[in-house]
């Protein structure tokens, strides 16, 4: 199922896409920021559902809705707008709008509205992300188009934090989510979207993302993640692998922080790079769970082969999907292999942190990096 989101606000569009793609029916969200883009996407392939803002950079969303209602195919339309006055609601009703959602909206309320409009979204039965039935085909599809990483954000935890909204500090949120690699990536993605960015430098850390987004928006994003019932790993073997990957990322982050402090560098960027060290591997495990959910079977050897052969490709795609800044991508890449001619001190620092965290502190490469960075202490 195709859902078209027409909104000039990158943050709102990203949040709506996260809600849409987290529904049990697993629809695919397409985005248009202007009327012109919306018309182009409509002509190429009419969607099954439209979410449209009233005010767009190049005109009124009602213009697009009127066009839809004159077409032979008329999908449900939801208006998502800051205009909540009576006249606006009446005007929208004249065009057979299926739902009218005012900004700022509640994530759970939007999810409930959309579930009623999207077939299959009122059940928790999982649906495949692609029509391909084989595991390799599903991996290839994910490498081309991206995928949804499994969710390690517990709904009860998010709700408990939301109940403390008035007294909750950003540092407390950062501490609560420090070990959540998936949420790291999503919050950085949202913080780098649209008008929220202040200044030319992209956001590259969880604390930086929280400062840009604020507690309320960050919790909305976390809630949208936690409400996704089909994005969890249920297979014990996959969960075991995921735990090891997440533990490795946490060790890399902790080691990188210690090294950064020793060298007098800001450690925030290093934490994000460490936590996202094995994004590709986590993506492979998500695809494996989807394959199992849809009736497939996988033995450990097949999963191990996929992790070795596809993690790098899928990781690169996910970093693009999450819109991670180039500097953060480079740091993540350095945890796997130091690029030739690397001059920035953070790159060998991250490679050294990865080696130490993975038990290779006595390797020749580790010793060379210690000499390069001027680090004399032993890690064992």
**Which of 215, 189, 204 minimizes the C-alpha distance to 272?**
204
pLDDT at res. 321:
77
* Number of residues assigned to the chain: 380
According to DSSP, the β-strands at 59-60 and 55-56 are: antiparallel
**Which of 24, 29, 19, 25 minimizes the C-alpha distance to 50?**
29
Q: DSSP letters of 27-69?
A: PEEEEESSHHHHHHHHHHS--SEEEE-SEETTEEHHHHHHHHH
How many alpha carbons fall within 13 Å on the CB side of residue 283? 32
According to DSSP, the β-strands at 49-52 and 59-60 are: unpaired
Q: What pTM did the predictor assign? A: 0.67
Distance of CA 55 to the CA centre of its chain: 26
DSSP code, position 378:
-
Cis peptide before 138 (omega within 30 of 0): no
- H or E stretch at 5: strand 2-6
Partnered with residue 51 across adjacent β-strands are 5, 78
**Which of 244, 179, 241, 245 minimizes the C-alpha distance to 206?**
179
Rounded CA-CA distance 42/156 in Å is 39
Rounded CA-CA distance 280/191 in Å is 22
Partnered with residue 32 across adjacent β-strands are 6
Residue 115, both tokens: 């579930």
pLDDT at res. 130:
43
pLDDT at res. 227:
67
**Sign of the four-CA dihedral 334, 147, 253, 189:** positive
pLDDT at res. 353:
94
Give me the domains of the chain, ranges plus CATH numbers: 2-117 (3.40.50.2300), 151-232 (no CATH), 235-380 (1.10.3210)
Residue 22, both tokens: 């987290």
Q: What share of the chain is helix, strand, coil (3-state, %, to 5)?
A: 55, 5, 35
Rounded CA-CA distance 87/62 in Å is 14
Q: What is the pLDDT of residues 352-361, one digit of tens each?
A: 999 999 999 8
pLDDT at res. 231:
62
With H, G, I as helix, E, B as strand and everything else as coil, classify residue 80.
strand
pLDDT at res. 96:
79
Stretches where the chain sits below pLDDT 50 are: 122-131, 195-196
With H, G, I as helix, E, B as strand and everything else as coil, classify residue 100.
strand
With H, G, I as helix, E, B as strand and everything else as coil, classify residue 132.
coil
Q: What is the pLDDT of residues 291-314, one digit of tens each?
A: 898 888 899 999 999 999 999 999
């Amino acid at each position: 199922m195709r859902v078209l989101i027409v909104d000039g606000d990158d943050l709102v569009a990203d949040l709506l896409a996260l809600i849409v793609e987290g529904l049990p029916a697993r629809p695919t969200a397409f985005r248009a920021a202007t009327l012109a883009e919306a018309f182009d996407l409509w002509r190429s392939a009419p969607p099954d559902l439209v979410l449209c803002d009233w005010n767009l950079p190049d005109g009124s969303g009602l213009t697009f809705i009127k066009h839809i209602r004159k077409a032979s195919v008329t999908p449900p339309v939801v208006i998502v707008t800051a205009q909540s006055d009576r006249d606006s609601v009446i005007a929208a009703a004249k065009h057979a709008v299926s739902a009218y959602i005012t900004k700022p909206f509640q994530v759970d309320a939007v999810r409930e509205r959309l579930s009623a409009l999207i077939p299959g979204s009122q059940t928790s039965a999982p649906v495949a992300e692609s029509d391909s039935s084989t595991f390799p085909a599903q991996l290839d599809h994910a490498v081309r188009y991206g995928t949804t990483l499994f969710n390690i954000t517990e709904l009860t935890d998010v709700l408990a934090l939301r109940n403390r909204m008035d007294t909750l500090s950003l540092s407390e949120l950062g501490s609560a989510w420090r070990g959540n690699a998936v949420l790291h990536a999503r919050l950085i993605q949202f913080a780098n979207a649209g008008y929220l960015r202040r200044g030319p430098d992209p956001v590259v850390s969880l604390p930086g993302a929280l400062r840009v987004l604020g507690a309320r928006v960050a919790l909305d994003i976390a809630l949208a993640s936690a409400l996704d019932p089909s994005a969890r790993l249920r297979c014990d073997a996959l969960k075991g692998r995921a735990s090891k990957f997440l533990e490795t990322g946490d060790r890399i982050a902790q080691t990188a922080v210690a090294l950064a402090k020793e060298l007098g560098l800001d450690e925030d960027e290093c934490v994000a790079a460490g936590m996202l060290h094995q994004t590709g591997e986590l993506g492979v495990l998500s695809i494996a769970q989807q394959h199992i959910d849809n009736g497939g079977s996988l033995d450990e050897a097949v999963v191990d082969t996929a992790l070795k052969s596809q993690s790098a490709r899928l990781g690169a795609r996910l970093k693009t999907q999450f819109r991670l800044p180039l500097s953060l991508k480079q740091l993540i890449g350095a945890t796997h292999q130091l690029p030739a001619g690397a001059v920035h001190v953070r790159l060998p620092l991250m490679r050294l942190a990865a080696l130490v965290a993975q038990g290779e502190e006595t390797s020749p490469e580790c010793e060379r990096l210690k000499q390069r960075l001027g680090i004399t202490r032993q890690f064992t």
